[in-house]
Amino acid sequence: VPETNRRVLLKSRPPGEPRPSDFEIAEGPIPKPSDGEILCRTIWLSLDPYMRGRMKDVRSYAAPVEIGGVMVGGTVSEVIESKHPSLRPGDLVVGMDGWQQYASSAPTGLRPIDRSVAPISTALGVLGMPGLTAYVGLLDIGRPVAGETVVVSAASGAVGSVVGQIARLKGCRAVGIAGSPTKCGYVVNELGFDAAVDYRRDGFAEALRDACPNGIDVYFDNVAGPVLEAVLRQINRGARIPLCGLISQYNATEPPRGPNLAPLLTNRGLIRGFLVFDHFDRFGAFVNEVGAWVRNGELRYREDIVDGLDAAPQAFIGLLEGRNFGKLLVRVSEERPVAGG
């Protein structure tokens, strides 16, 4: 029976790329489970991009790892001692025991593993958190329809590989974006994607266009940054973009060029483009409701009126500079008084 518990602690918060010196290996006693707790031996530890976020001391959807704290991480573990009625030694569980050999905790939120389904490591990958991410992100948010083109970045990885394969199984054209010819070859030849494009090569945007002759209907974004920008130029009308990850900026020391989409992801926000032309069927409802508010003064409006058509160019230039105040109108001619009024 081993006597020590090796753990990896966060030693410092890297400004950019994490260095080995930002971590510290420490040994300590194996924890003793209290009543209601179980002691587990870690078999598999998952390493995931989100951990980079936990090394930062910024407000996010989850608390940061403390300096000196054990790095967080999903684990597959074997119960070796149990003071909880629901688990016995020998049981396998998926938990969040972190980067350490042993952990003692109350078994809340633990998921038992059925060894008969697949190798137990899959509980941290294709049949675990990354697989679920792909499944809900693609099907519930991306809503692919057979015949559409689905593009996914980080396509050879844990999430992306599942996204493209589910897209294929749903009858879509699946196009992967990955960071090397070897990864692209794997995505097409082993995973069965229809095409893959290396975003590091010259002419990436053209190659993506060639791979998506009918445009892009769903873009499952794992990376943000320049890849997202290139994809956006090729999306079709009504395209859906599940925003899953922003790995291109996880190590960044400067704010991203252009808008930072991170708050959109962490707050589960929605951006959706629309054009009013598609919605004139709502005109009747709009005029009824808003017209009543205008009549009874609940909804106010302000007009900024310039006189004469000749004033139009200057007024228009001013509109783009913010010199108008309210709805800018040109009085081209006098309104005729209402007859009998």
Ligand X SMILES: NC(=O)c1ccc[n+]([C@@H]2O[C@H](COP(=O)([O-])OP(=O)(O)OC[C@H]3O[C@@H](n4cnc5c(N)ncnc54)[C@H](OP(=O)(O)O)[C@@H]3O)[C@@H](O)[C@H]2O)c1
Rule CB under 6 A: which residues touch ligand X? 48-50, 130, 133, 154, 156-160, 178-180, 183, 222-223, 225, 227, 244-245, 247-248
> Which residues in 213-224 are b (16+ Cβ under 10 Å) and which e?
eeebbbbbbbbb
> Which CB atom, from 107 or from 225, has the smaller least distance to ligand X?
225
> Which CB atom, from 107 or from 242, has the smaller least distance to ligand X?
242
> Which CB atom, from 23 or from 135, has the smaller least distance to ligand X?
135
Minimum Å gap between C-beta 194 and ligand X is: 17
Minimum Å gap between C-beta 338 and ligand X is: 60
Of 323, 301, 299, whose CA–CA distance to 311 is shortest? 323
Minimum Å gap between C-beta 285 and ligand X is: 36
> Which CB atom, from 93 or from 162, has the smaller least distance to ligand X?
162
* Torsion angles phi and psi, residue 320, rounded to 5: -75, -15
Q: CA-based Rg of the chain, rounded to a whole angstrom?
A: 28
Q: At what angle do helices 158-169 and 129-136 cross, to 10 degrees?
A: 40
CB proximity list for 295: less than 8 A, separation 6 or greater: none
> Which CB atom, from 63 or from 305, has the smaller least distance to ligand X?
63
Of 23, 123, 12, whose CA–CA distance to 76 is shortest? 123
Minimum Å gap between C-beta 246 and ligand X is: 6
Minimum Å gap between C-beta 201 and ligand X is: 12
Query: By the 8 A CB rule, do 97 and 103 touch?
Result: yes
